[in-house]
Copies of this chain bind each other. A is one copy, B any other.
Amino acid sequence: MIADTIRTNTYRLGILRNRKAMEGKVVLDVGAGTGVLSIFCAQAGARKVYAVEASSIVEQAVRIVKLNSMEDRVEVIKGTLETVDLPEQVDVIVSEWMGYALLHESMLNSVIFARDKWLKPGGLILPDKAELFIAPINDLVVEDRLNFWSTVKSQYGVDMSSMTDFAKKCIMNRDITVNLVTVEDVLSHPSKFADLDLYTVTMENLRSVRGGFRCECFGSSSINAFCVWFAVTFAGEDKPLVLSTSPFSPETHWKQAVLYLDEAVDVMQDTKSTGTRRREEEDD
């Protein structure tokens, strides 16, 4: 994860640019992992950072904090955010909570819990805004994979075309498909379909993150999937800093999420694709 330089650099800058807000303050790092964000906060002047991490990676965080002689300022706490007891309220919450497609197995619930229980009124959350985007794509990899079964007969003399449906079902039944989408496969400008303000979003809101979208296709092609990605924003003293996982931005470990259609749809220039996305729990 640290090797995802886009992610780590953006977090680092997002924290360092908030020196004024960090100076002498108390920070809570939700899901601290190896503790690298906690150390960035201490470097930005935080008086105390509580690095809360539930998994066994916490042992590495303890070693790293020692190695950097930060024991006096960074306190590593093993436990879930929901159960730990901090000695004080905090001025800042920092967290790298985003899952694939933003919310897939994300830790946003823990950040909301932390905000409601431990953040002082007027405190800072980094990042403080999340946005979801969508665009129709022509996924050539999956198209090739499905077409493959129709080519087996000419290649091996065995008709395996009946596998196309089965392969399609396997792809559709996946919990989530995460691919690196090629810019050339994106068929329109992206459409933002949801916004989350981390100061106000509630766990109840997360049960149904939804929004309409409207995309106009660049030219003749075939839509066989929609691609979903996110961006999060760090407010700053100067201008805000955006960590984007768009296919138009440099690659991150989040790549993009791909939602396949049952059937591909041919499109021309300016063909509009519109829709509403809601979380599965809400589907009939």
Binding site for B on A (CB under 8 A): 2-3, 5, 8-9, 12, 34, 36, 39-40, 43, 60, 63-64, 67-68, 145, 148, 152, 155-163, 166
Contacts and interface: CB of A to CB of B under 8 A. Distances in A.
Contacts of A145: 3
Nearest to A11: B156
Contacts of A161: 67
A36 B162 contact: no
Nearest to A152: B2
A129 to B, nearest CB: 24
Contact of A163 (B39, B64, B152): B64
B2 A40 contact: no
Q: Say how many copies of this protein the assembly contains.
A: 2
A60 B162 contact: yes
Contacts of A39: 158
11 contacts: A2-B148, A2-B156, A3-B145, A3-B148, A12-B156, A36-B160, A39-B158, A40-B158, A60-B162, A63-B162, A67-B162
Nearest to A145: B3
A163 B67 CA distance: 11
B43 A157 contact: yes
A6 to B, nearest CB: 13
B63 A158 contact: no
A148 to B, nearest CB: 6
Contacts of A5: 155
A159 B43 contact: no
B160 A64 contact: yes
Given A3-B148, A148-B3, A60 B163 contact: yes
A195 to B, nearest CB: 30
Contacts of A43: 157-158
A64 B156 contact: no
Contacts of A159: 64, 67-68
Contacts of A152: 2, 36
Contacts of A2: 148, 152, 156, 160
A52 to B, nearest CB: 18
A58 to B, nearest CB: 12
A160 B67 CA distance: 8
A5 B156 CA distance: 10
Given A3-B148, A12-B156, A40-B156, 8 more contacts: A2-B152, A3-B145, A36-B160, A40-B158, A43-B158, A64-B158, A64-B163, A67-B160
